[in-house]
């Protein structure tokens, strides 16, 4: 319906309240201030002052939206100021090694340009110093650019998260789903404890029943606060934990209560570094210490030879210092922690494209170690496209023709009286949340479900029966927006597993409509409709309904929903029935007992086609999958078998029945793993350890069960009991991971938040998930699909592999540079690698290599080995063989070329001797060979487990090829094309190298590829001889 609303500020003599008045009202939160502002008109008058209708909201579109934003602000927090590029560059300039290099370059420029022996030395000093400045400038800018881009990647992530936060508002009398930024002052926001629990702006309570909010995060008050006309102030940043209703928005963004608090503490929180980051940082310090020791040895040796033996002048000390600094620049692997940050940042971006919105970067790494995934069923394993496929109404099975619908069959079935059809349609329309609805896009006949998919299926059935659910909601007293205070809503909770809505009956009294888990609703019924009559429901009949109708639907993998009602004389919404208990032991609402059963509906939610293959990949990868669902046990088992969670050979007997402990109901699970002490249930880890290795399906579970699973799996020490692990493997083919369990948990409800927080990695549903669940999670599944979790596991393992690849590459270069320089220093041989050579190598090693190797995409082979053990060393035995073997090849080759070089073609002569030393073709070849060795070895480092096809996957990583070929191109330019210019600073031959010399350099570089294959074969031979299993192989 279209509602004509005139913006308040266009009415003569009328204007909006000021922003200060509204924010002061929220700060003081007194009824007296509200009455003073509205001249005793209350919330309705405030709506009028802001140009909104109390029931219909603002017009759509809001013509004065921009004016409202200008006056009251946007509903978003002020963006944190990003660090400018120059600050990152300045931070890099303060690094000790950079400061030392700049100091030495300046010292050389001043000393040698003034007191140089001849013009050549002075020219060389100027050229070398200038190139040093340029090189330092490049290093500083590359590091600053990486930091600058990383911060902006985080900012983009924050904006993506904000865009995923959806709210419900009312405009033109229609409910709309919008983002936070689309809300303005004057909007009417719809909220409830089930799907719209987060209050994102300050407001005034307008309508609702039994509304309570949790304000403990702001006020410290542990008890929920009731909200009504006497206590109308809804505070941003709080959550609704009971009831539902509407509120008028009066303060948004930075001007709201939460906005002011956030602004005052912006940027104070610091995250703890991940275990892998800490490991890498410690390793970098250790390697750096070794590098400093080696550089010190080289420095002392060069000083002894220069001043003690050759009696050179003090100017030689500058050259020695510069060479030592170059060694230190390469020896200190500051790129190790940087490589992890780059790998995580690149991974998070890639994962977003594959429907994993990463909130915390460390969770990418943790997923590589995941050993267990505890997943929901609805929407994660299934499509979440609910359809009513079966129905038993008043004891009559509804036959559905091929291609037909249950709603149409009900409409056409003459056995069911018209008043019962109307009763069922009213139940569907009344006993569902406002946020649940069906929309049709212009020009489309395919319905779009909005809100809860199960409720949407019921509403679609009502439509097919010929009823307008929106008209029912607007006409029934106690359910319509204007008469909500005459009814009572009890929204769904996991402890009750049902929902009810009490409305007025036209003839007097009240009617309670109830729907929920079929066995729960059936247990609350004392009467039933059958063949047009209402009679008492006996235990035998209840069991018959359970064994026939409910079991039949459940065995066909349908979710079973019981629908019932009760007529009462008086409205007592908070009255309790101590004789009837909910699943958590709390007394049931009296209005939800003594019901009359109307029927049972079977709702089909088909299994996603990609789920079964994804779960097969999980088991192959050593990741156990456990399904945790609120559905009944039979439905859960049927879905689990179809998905492959329950394997007919491993988890079922010959008759196809599930073996003990493999599938349980929540109530049995809780009894099994808890002891009763002083009337309270106390978790028993030992009992939990007796059951969890077998458990695959937990049905009729509560959020507390999820929390118990997460904490119990994390705390389990079963892996230390080697005898039991061997017994589980022998008798039940159950492999227990040889370290603590790393748990990934999915959740969509508000009550799932503690379990998501407790798990190592929490996955919230991006479509069906509540905002609280999303806030608690580490990763948001944008498509609510289990297959996307497997993608996250693959990317997580890829992060660890990327770090190992970079580590293997860098440690090889580090070892080679250190040992070559120490050998040259001790042997009184001029090192072929000058300070500028070493800085160029440092650029290749740290920044370029970390990006190249971190950008390697994951392969399916990553899921063919067990999870990463977080307590294992980062450097594996095979990596150590590769590092030591390749370093030996590079060192022996360089030393061989350094001392034995007469055979090299096209070398120039000084008299009868071959020219050597700086600016000679001999030393130019040495420098060129060493750089090409690293370029070639970078291809070897792409693989960690003896793979011989080093070209595999190159076409999928263009960034790697660009960096590798770019490095090669720059090397050719430096040595060959720009050699006349670079001869002085780089101390290379001004004519470059001949074709034959290039061929030799490339040949030696290609030798690394051959050496790597030899190392692979040697490792395999030794492993086979010693009986060592291949790395990544699951124990048998």
Residue 8: per-residue pLDDT: 43
827-849 mean pLDDT: 79
Confidence category of residue 470, pLDDT binned at 50, 70, 90: very high
Residues 20-57 have pLDDT tens digits of 999 989 888 889 889 889 888 889 999 999 999 988 89
Residues 666-682 have pLDDT tens digits of 889 999 999 888 777 88
Please indicate whether residue 550 or residue 346 has the higher confidence score (pLDDT). 550
Q: Flag whether pLDDT at 3 surpasses 60.
A: no
The half-sphere exposure of 588 on its side-chain side, counting CA atoms within 13 A, is 21
CA separation for the pair 437, 496 (Å, rounded) = 23
Residues 67-77 have pLDDT tens digits of 999 999 888 87
Confidence category of residue 1030, pLDDT binned at 50, 70, 90: low
Residue 117: per-residue pLDDT: 64
3-state secondary structure 880-938: HHHHHHHHHHHHHHHHHHHHCCCCCCCCCEECCEECCCCCCHHHHHHHHHHHHHHHHHH
Q: Flag whether pLDDT at 271 surpasses 60.
A: no
452-472 mean pLDDT: 92
- Tell me what percent of the residues of the chain surpass a pLDDT of 70: 89
Confidence category of residue 750, pLDDT binned at 50, 70, 90: low
Residues 283-329 have pLDDT tens digits of 777 877 888 888 888 889 989 988 888 888 777 787 787 777 767 76
Confidence category of residue 695, pLDDT binned at 50, 70, 90: very high
Confidence category of residue 332, pLDDT binned at 50, 70, 90: low
Confidence category of residue 270, pLDDT binned at 50, 70, 90: very low
Stretch among 134-138, 158-162, 780-784, 788-792 having the lowest mean pLDDT: 158-162
CA separation for the pair 603, 550 (Å, rounded) = 11
Find all residues with CB under 8 Å of 581, minimum gap 6, and list them.
Answer: 587, 588
Q: Flag whether pLDDT at 770 surpasses 90.
A: no
CA separation for the pair 281, 273 (Å, rounded) = 10
CA separation for the pair 284, 839 (Å, rounded) = 18
Q: What is the largest CA-CA distance in the chain?
A: 122
Question: What is the SS3 assignment for 489?
Answer: strand
Q: Which long-range contacts (CB under 8 A, 24 or more apart) does 396-404 make?
A: 396/531, 397/549
Q: Flag whether pLDDT at 845 surpasses 70.
A: no
Distances (CA, A) of 218 to 29, 203, 224, 229, 802: 14, 16, 12, 21, 42
Find all residues with CB under 8 Å of 994, minimum gap 6, and list them.
Answer: 905, 906, 921
CA separation for the pair 792, 762 (Å, rounded) = 12
Of 87-91, 153-157, 991-995, give the range with the top mean pLDDT. Answer: 991-995
Q: Flag whether pLDDT at 1014 surpasses 70.
A: yes
Please provide the distance, in angstroms rounded to a whole number, between the alpha carbons at the two ends of the chain. 68
907-913 mean pLDDT: 76
180-202 mean pLDDT: 84
4-13 mean pLDDT: 41
Q: How many Å is the Cα radius of gyration of the chain?
A: 36
Q: What rounded mean pLDDT belongs to the chain?
A: 84
85-94 mean pLDDT: 86
Please indicate whether residue 216 or residue 654 has the higher confidence score (pLDDT). 654
Residues facing 498 on adjacent strands: 493, 516
Distances (CA, A) of 123 to 103, 171, 577, 831: 19, 77, 97, 22
Residue 124: per-residue pLDDT: 67
863-880 mean pLDDT: 85
Phi-psi region at 39: left, alpha or beta (left = phi > 0; alpha = psi -120 to 50): left
Question: Do 570 and 510 meet the contact criterion of CB atoms below 8 Å apart?
Answer: yes
Confidence category of residue 5, pLDDT binned at 50, 70, 90: very low
Which backbone phi and psi does 763 adopt, to 5 degrees?
Answer: -110, 120
994-1003 mean pLDDT: 95
Residue 897: per-residue pLDDT: 94
Residues facing 374 on adjacent strands: 626, 745
CA separation for the pair 185, 9 (Å, rounded) = 13
Residue 431: per-residue pLDDT: 94
742-764 mean pLDDT: 84
Residue 426: per-residue pLDDT: 96
823-848 mean pLDDT: 81
Stretch among 98-112, 222-236, 553-567 having the lowest mean pLDDT: 98-112
Q: Which residue has the tokens 């030794």?
A: 1022
Determine what percent of the chain falls in helix, strand and coil, rounding each to the nearest 5: 50, 15, 30
**pTM for the whole structure:** 0.74
Residues 106-151 have pLDDT tens digits of 876 777 677 666 676 677 667 767 777 877 787 788 778 877 876 7
Whether 376 sits among the annotated catalytic residues: the reply is yes
The residue annotated as part of the active site, out of 376, 631, 705, 846, is: 376
Residue 720: per-residue pLDDT: 93
Question: What is the SS3 assignment for 279?
Answer: helix
Residues 567-581 have pLDDT tens digits of 999 988 889 999 998
Confidence category of residue 7, pLDDT binned at 50, 70, 90: very low
Residue 685: per-residue pLDDT: 94
Residues 236-259 have pLDDT tens digits of 888 887 778 899 999 998 888 888
Residue 92: per-residue pLDDT: 80
Burial of 314: CB neighbours in 10 Å, binned 0-12, 13-18, 19+: exposed
CA separation for the pair 958, 963 (Å, rounded) = 9
Residue 268: per-residue pLDDT: 41
CA separation for the pair 108, 409 (Å, rounded) = 93
Q: Flag whether pLDDT at 335 surpasses 80.
A: no
């Amino acid at each position: 319906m279209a509602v004509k609303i005139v913006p308040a500020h266009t009415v003569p003599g009328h204007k909006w309240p000021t922003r200060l008045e509204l924010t002061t009202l929220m700060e003081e939160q007194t009824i007296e201030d509200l009455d003073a502002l509205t001249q005793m008109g209350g919330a309705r008058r405030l709506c009028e002052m802001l140009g909104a209708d109390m029931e219909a909201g603002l017009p759509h579109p809001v013509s004065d939206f921009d004016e409202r934003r200008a006056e009251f602000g946007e509903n978003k927090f002020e963006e944190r100021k990003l660090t400018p590029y120059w600050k990152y560059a300045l931070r890099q300039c303060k690094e000790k090694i950079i400061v030392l290099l700049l100091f030495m370059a300046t010292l050389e420029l001043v000393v040698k340009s003034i007191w140089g022996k001849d013009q050549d030395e002075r020219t060389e000093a100027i050229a070398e110093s200038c190139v040093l400045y340029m090189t330092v400038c490049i290093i500083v800018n590359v590091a600053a650019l990486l930091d600058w881009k990383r911060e902006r990647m985080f900012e983009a992530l924050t904006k993506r998260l904000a865009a995923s936060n959806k709210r419900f508002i009312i405009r033109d009398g229609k409910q709309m789903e919008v983002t936070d930024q689309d809300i303005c002052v004057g909007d009417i926001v719809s909220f409830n404890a089930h799907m719209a629990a987060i209050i994102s702006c300050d407001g005034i309570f307008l309508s609702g029943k039994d509304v309570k909010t949790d304000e403990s995060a702001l006020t410290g008050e542990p008890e929920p606060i009731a909200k009504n006309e006497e206590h109308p102030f809804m505070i941003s940043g709080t959550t609704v934990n009971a009831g539902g209703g509407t509120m008028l928005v009066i303060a948004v963004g930075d001007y709201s209560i939460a906005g002011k608090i956030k602004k005052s503490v912006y940027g104070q929180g610091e995250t703890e570094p991940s275990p892998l980051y800490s490991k890498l940082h410690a390793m970098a310090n250790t390697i750096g210490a070794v590098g400093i020791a080696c550089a010190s040895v080289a420095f002392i040796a060069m000083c002894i030879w220069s001043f003690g033996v050759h009696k050179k002048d003090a100017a030689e000390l500058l050259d020695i210092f510069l060479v030592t600094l170059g060694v230190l620049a390469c020896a200190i692997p500051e790129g190790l922690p940087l490589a992890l940050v780059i790998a995580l940042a690149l991974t998070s971006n890639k994962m977003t494209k594959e429907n994993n919105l990463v909130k915390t970067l460390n969770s990418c790494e943790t997923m590589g170690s995941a050993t267990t995934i505890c997943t929901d069923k609805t929407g994660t394993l299934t499509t979440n496209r609910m359809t009513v496929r079966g129905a038993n109404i008043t004891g009559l099975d509804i036959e559905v023709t091929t291609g037909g619908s249950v709603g149409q069959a009900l409409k056409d079935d003459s056995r069911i009286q018209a008043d019962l059809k109307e009763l069922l349609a009213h139940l569907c329309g009344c006993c569902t949340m406002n946020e649940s609805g069906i929309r049709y896009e212009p020009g489309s006949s395919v319905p779009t479900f909005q809100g809860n998919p199960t409720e949407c299926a019921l509403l679609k059935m009502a439509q097919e029966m010929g009823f307008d659910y929106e008209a029912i909601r607007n006409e029934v007293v106690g359910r319509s927006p204007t008469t909500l205070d005459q009814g009572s809503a009890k929204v769904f909770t996991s402890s009750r597993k049902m929902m009810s809505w009490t409305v007025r009956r036209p003839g007097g009294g009240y009617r309670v409509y109830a729907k929920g888990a079929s066995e729960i609703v059936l247990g609350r019924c004392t009467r039933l409709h059958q063949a047009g009559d209402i009679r008492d429901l006996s235990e035998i009949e209840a069991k018959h309904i359970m064994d026939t109708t409910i079991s039949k639907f459940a065995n066909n993998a349908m979710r079973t929903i019981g629908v019932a009602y009760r007529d009462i004389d008086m409205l007592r919404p908070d009255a309790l029935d101590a004789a009837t208990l909910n699943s958590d032991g709390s007394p049931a609402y009296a209005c939800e007992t003594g019901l009359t059963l109307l029927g049972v509906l079977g709702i089909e939610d088909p299994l996603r086609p990609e789920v079964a293959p994804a779960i097969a990949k999980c088991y192959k990868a050593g990741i156990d999958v456990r399904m945790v669902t609120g559905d009944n046990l039979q439905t859960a088992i049927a879905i689990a078998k179809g998905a492959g969670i329950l394997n007919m050979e491993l988890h079922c007997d010959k008759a196809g029945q599930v073996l003990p402990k493999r599938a349980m109901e929540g109530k049995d699970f809780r009894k099994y793993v808890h002891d009763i002490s002083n009337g309270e249930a106390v978790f028993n880890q030992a009992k939990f350890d007796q059951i969890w290795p077998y458990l695959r399906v937990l049905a009729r579970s509560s959020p507390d069960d999820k929390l118990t699973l997460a904490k119990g799996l994390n705390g389990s020490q079963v892996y230390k009991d080697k005898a039991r692990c061997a017994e589980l493997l022998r008798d039940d083919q159950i492999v227990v991971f040889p370290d603590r369990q790393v748990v990934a948990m999915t959740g969509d409800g508000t009550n799932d938040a503690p379990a998501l927080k407790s798990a190592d990695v929490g996955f919230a549903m991006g479509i069906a998930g509540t905002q609280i669940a999303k806030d608690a999670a580490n990763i948001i599944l944008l498509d609510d699909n289990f297959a996307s979790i497997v993608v996250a596991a693959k990317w997580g393992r890829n992060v660890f592999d990327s770090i190992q690849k970079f580590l293997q590459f860098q440690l090889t270069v580090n070892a080679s540079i250190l040992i070559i320089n120490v050998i040259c220093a001790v042997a009184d041989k001029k090192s072929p690698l000058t300070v500028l050579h070493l800085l160029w190598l440092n650029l290749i090693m740290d920044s370029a290599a970390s990006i190249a190797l971190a950008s390697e995409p994951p392969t399916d082979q990553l899921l063919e080995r067990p999870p990463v053990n977080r307590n294992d060393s980062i450097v594996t035995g095979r990596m150590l063989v590769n590092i030591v073997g390749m370093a030996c090849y590079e060192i022996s080759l360089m030393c061989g070329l350094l001392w034995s070089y007469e055979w090299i073609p096209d070398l120039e002569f000084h008299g009868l001797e071959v020219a050597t030393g700086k600016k000679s073709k001999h030393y130019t070849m040495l420098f060129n060979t060493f750089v090409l060795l690293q370029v070639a070895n970078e291809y070897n480092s792409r693989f960690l487990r003896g793979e011989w096809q080093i070209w595999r996957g190159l076409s999928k990583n263009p960034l790697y090829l660009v960096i590798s070929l770019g490095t090669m191109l720059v090397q050719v330019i430096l040595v060959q094309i720009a050699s006349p210019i670079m001869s002085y600073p780089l101390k290379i031959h001004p004519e470059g190298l001949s074709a034959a010399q290039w061929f030799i350099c490339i040949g030696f570089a290609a030798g690394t590829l051959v050496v790597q294959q030899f190392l692979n074969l040697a490792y395999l031979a030794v492993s086979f001889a010693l009986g060592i299993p291949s790395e990544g192989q699951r124990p048998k």
